[in-house]
Amino acid sequence: MSNYDIVTLHICPNGCGGCFDTTAHIMQSWKVDATGAFVEVLENCIQTTHGPDNDNIWTCVKCGAEALQVQCRRAYSIIQTHEREKQYNLFFPVQDTATVYWQQIGCHRFKKAVIEKAADGRDYINADGTPVYIERP
């Protein structure tokens, strides 16, 4: 299947799975004097002019480690449980066919899981106790 988008994930080498500190470029509104010299910020972020770039340094906000970049194929999965529907983003590393990174929609945390075989032969991952059956890209 070639219709999966290739994306770059930034992953903490210590497995923190959370967020990162990196650079983005924003536009601010300033109060200035008659020469244009800065006095104070009036509006902190009018708009983002350039978001984070893969060439930036990405630092884990939890442990301070520099992130690893992992090229992945992105997929999507919906799981119906007895409680409610759960939706997941799945990221299949291009260079590692035995694992998948997953993220429950609405959560910023990413986790890594080993792809396992169910008794019926289907591939799945264990997403915090929920079996998520997957189709590899």
Instruction: Give the global pTM.
Output: 0.77
- Mean pLDDT by groups of 10 residues along the chain of 137 residues: 76 92 96 95 95 95 96 80 76 92 85 92 88 80
For position 1, what pLDDT does the model report?
36
For position 128, what pLDDT does the model report?
85
For position 82, what pLDDT does the model report?
63
* Burial of 79 (C-beta count, 10 Å sphere; 0-12/13-18/19+): middle
Closest CA to 88 of 126, 58, 57, 123: 126
